[in-house]
Amino acid sequence: MDNYLNARVSLMASRLLREDELQVLAEGSADERTALLERAGLSQLIGDLESGRYLEQSIIRAQLADILILMRAAGDARNFLQYWALRFEITNLKAIIRGKLSKAPVAMVRQELSDMGFLTSLPVEELLQTEDIDELLRRLETTPYADMVRFARRAFEAQPRLFDLDAALDRRYYHGLVERARPLEDTLGTSFRKIMELHIDRINLTWLLRFRFTYKLPPAQVYYLLIPSHYPLSSGVLKDLSVLDRMEDMLERLPQPYHNWLEDAHGVNHVAGILEARFAERAHSVLRSSTPAFSRAFAYLMLRDRDLRRVRAALKGWSLGLDTQIIRQALGLDGTLTSGEQTLLQGAL
């Protein structure tokens, strides 16, 4: 099975975008972009868009297809991949919560939801028919999301805002991912741990900076919303950083290698861009190595996720008629986007 998984990963990795192809995504003609998506195994995105499907749903379908293929040969890591896929169902859950808070028609909310197939664990129709957010959260406590929702509900009761509910769901999801990664780090060794380490550290650091300096949240609330971690940016390190009042001071006190990577960073978006690039370098290194097959599989999934975020940004930019320069920035070709530009490109088609 390890040989089979390695073969599958190598075949799938051939579809990853090359850096020179980003220019085509940003500036190529419609025919050139279509040809590129076909080479990357993403031609269905064009068909989905033409048929009126939301772009986000198409992106998730592409990711689930890869996950399902790899799960068949993942062995003991199958449960980890199954949990990894839950983040897409959380996207559905957030859409339902958002619709409930805004009192949107059920039919409109239903159109935004992605089909999770046999991975579905949410009672979607029951949730859609609940009367209000309180009933929705109570109903969720009888699902596999009970622990996650109890944590999120406490945050929402303290601050009844959609942001706090979303952030709490994300925090509890990633906490579960870290817990499920621990035994695999012992069996798969350094390659898998290095990917998980940088993945969680970059999320925590980006959240820390954004919560403190963009959203102006108090240190105690920021720390509460960060992912408990045993990686270099451990919970203890994050607690010490969260009380600092200047981003420059936080970056100065980071452990290595983050201190060296970010010593010249300016702004949260710049930090996120640097960490994204460093993570891609690490994932590519694992993918090219002879490490355990599942480590290579997870590296591929992370890089594919990055590619799909870039494709989404490019297609979104073209559909909105945005300037090519903004699309180039979204793809990491020219500096970083402003927060307003990021918000614009993150919206769903």
DSSP one-letter code for 150: H
The average pLDDT across 76-82 equals: 93
Whether residue 276 is predicted with pLDDT greater than 90 in this model: the reply is yes
| 223 C-beta neighbours (distance < 10 Å), count | 19
CATH architecture, range 190-291 = Up-down Bundle (1.20)
Q: What is this structure's pTM? A: 0.91
Residue 306 pLDDT: 95
In the chain, what percentage of residues exceed pLDDT 90? 66
Give dist(CA 202, CA 208) in Å, integer: 10
**CB 180, CB 79: distance < 8 Å:** yes
Give dist(CA 57, CA 38) in Å, integer: 18
Q: Which of 205, 213, 247 is nearest to 229 (CA)?
A: 205
Q: Which of 346, 331, 343, 347 is nearest to 17 (CA)?
A: 331
Residue scoring higher pLDDT (315 or 342): 315
What's the token pair of residue 182?
Answer: 């621990």
Give dist(CA 313, CA 317) in Å, integer: 6
Q: Roughly what angle, to the nearest 10 degrees, separates helices 293-320 and 55-71?
A: 170
Confidence of residue 348 (pLDDT cuts 50, 70, 90): very low
| Dihedrals phi, psi of 290, to nearest 5 degrees | -105, 30
Whether residue 117 is predicted with pLDDT greater than 90 in this model: the reply is no
**pLDDT tens-digit readout, 80-103:** 999 999 999 999 999 999 999 999
Whether residue 349 is predicted with pLDDT greater than 50 in this model: the reply is no
Residue 317 pLDDT: 87
Residue 196 pLDDT: 97
Give dist(CA 118, CA 164) in Å, integer: 30
In the chain, where the domains are located: 190-291
Residue 341 pLDDT: 46
Whether residue 134 is predicted with pLDDT greater than 70 in this model: the reply is yes
**pLDDT tens-digit readout, 181-201:** 999 999 999 999 999 999 999
DSSP one-letter code for 267: S
Exposed, middle or buried: residue 40 (CB in 10 Å: 0-12, 13-18, 19+)? buried
Whether residue 336 is predicted with pLDDT greater than 70 in this model: the reply is no
Give dist(CA 209, CA 222) in Å, integer: 9
CA distances from 263 to 105, 214, 219, 246, 260 (A): 48, 20, 22, 14, 5
Residue 152 pLDDT: 83
| 100 C-beta neighbours (distance < 10 Å), count | 21
The average pLDDT across 248-270 equals: 95
Q: Which of 61, 63, 37, 52 is nearest to 300 (CA)?
A: 63
Buried b (16+ CB within 10 A) or exposed e, 294-304: bbbbbbbbbbb
Confidence of residue 229 (pLDDT cuts 50, 70, 90): very high
